[in-house]
């Protein structure tokens, strides 16, 4: 699908065979909270399974104070209302704490790219969900789990034939009117495109284990 008007990311080009950029560092655990607020522990929308994270680094509080803490509301419906993207302050805090070298001045453009990529991931998921619109006209996001260290089977197999590895993977869990369906989303570096600062190719498809075999046939 072509990117929306004003989108800073090209999503249409398949990946080239070049080095990957590393996993998405966004604080995805803050999807359902109101702008400027912190989530209640029992409402965290992200699973925290997997290997223990690397030691977190202290973030300069003075830099955080200078960054906006307002959050953009996505077009993605969730069980608790529209999904909320992280603010510049939250994003910078998460990236810096993980040891990434980030410039606070870049946060506005980084947030714009991050949000645009997630919007396009949902568009691709909805292309599959449209096959089930008679069963459920209003699918909603339950949660998503970042799994940058877990190669999907498809990514592993295509890698054997020379395709570059994805730089990130998400598992998106969708509520199909009472039925939970998992989508596997691989993010690849795409081919360079003129007048586009970033090119990302998104491969989103339903998981076989939650009934996606026929949808992908």
Q: What is the pLDDT of residue 58?
A: 80
Could you tell me which residues are beta bridge partners of residue 201? 188
CA distances from 204 to 37, 145, 184 (A): 30, 14, 6
pLDDT at 5 over 70: no
- Per-residue pLDDT of 106-158, as tens digits, reads 999 999 999 999 999 999 999 999 999 999 999 999 998 989 889 999 999 99
CB atoms under 10 Å from CB of 10, counted, come to: 22
CA distance 120 to 196: 15
**What are the phi and psi torsion angles at 91 (to 5°)?**
-65, -45
Angle 3-12-22 from CA coordinates, rounded to 5°? 95
Could you tell me which residues are beta bridge partners of residue 154? none
- Write down how long the chain is: 217
CB atoms under 10 Å from CB of 158, counted, come to: 18
In three-state secondary structure terms, 40 is coil
**What are the phi and psi torsion angles at 132 (to 5°)?**
-115, 20
What value does the mean pLDDT of the chain take?
Answer: 78
- Helix 107-129 / helix 88-97 crossing angle, nearest 10 deg: 100
pLDDT at 171 over 70: yes
CA distance 75 to 126: 12
Assign 3-state DSSP to the chain and report helix, strand, coil percentages, each to 5.
30, 25, 45
Q: What residues contact residue 106 under an 8 Å CB cut-off, 6+ apart?
A: none
Greater model confidence, 210 or 52 = 210
CB atoms under 10 Å from CB of 166, counted, come to: 25
- Per-residue pLDDT of 175-192, as tens digits, reads 999 999 999 999 999 887
Q: What is the pLDDT of residue 88?
A: 95
Q: What is the pLDDT of residue 43?
A: 36
- pLDDT category of residue 22 using cuts at 50, 70 and 90: very low
- Per-residue pLDDT of 65-105, as tens digits, reads 999 999 999 999 999 999 999 999 999 998 888 888 889 99
């Amino acid at each position: 699908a072509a990117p929306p008007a004003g989108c800073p990311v090209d999503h249409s080009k398949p990946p080239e065979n070049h080095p990957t950029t590393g996993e998405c560092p966004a604080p995805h655990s803050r999807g359902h909270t109101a702008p400027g607020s912190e989530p209640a522990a029992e409402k965290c929308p992200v699973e925290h399974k997997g290997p223990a994270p690397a030691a977190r680094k202290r973030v300069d509080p003075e830099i955080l104070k200078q960054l906006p803490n307002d959050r953009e509301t996505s077009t993605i419906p969730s069980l608790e209302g529209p999904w909320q993207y992280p603010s510049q302050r939250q994003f910078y805090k998460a990236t810096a704490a993980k040891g990434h070298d980030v410039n606070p001045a870049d946060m506005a453009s980084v947030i714009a790219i991050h949000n645009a990529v997630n919007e396009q991931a949902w568009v691709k998921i909805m292309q599959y969900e449209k096959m089930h619109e008679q069963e459920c006209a209003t699918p909603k996001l339950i949660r998503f789990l970042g799994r940058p260290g877990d190669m999907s089977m498809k990514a592993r197999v295509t890698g054997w034939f020379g395709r570059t590895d994805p730089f990130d993977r998400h598992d998106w869990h969708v509520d199909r009117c009472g039925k939970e369906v998992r989508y596997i989303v691989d993010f690849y570096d795409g081919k360079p495109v003129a007048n586009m600062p970033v090119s990302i190719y998104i491969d989103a498809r339903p998981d076989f284990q939650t009934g996606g075999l026929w949808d992908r046939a």
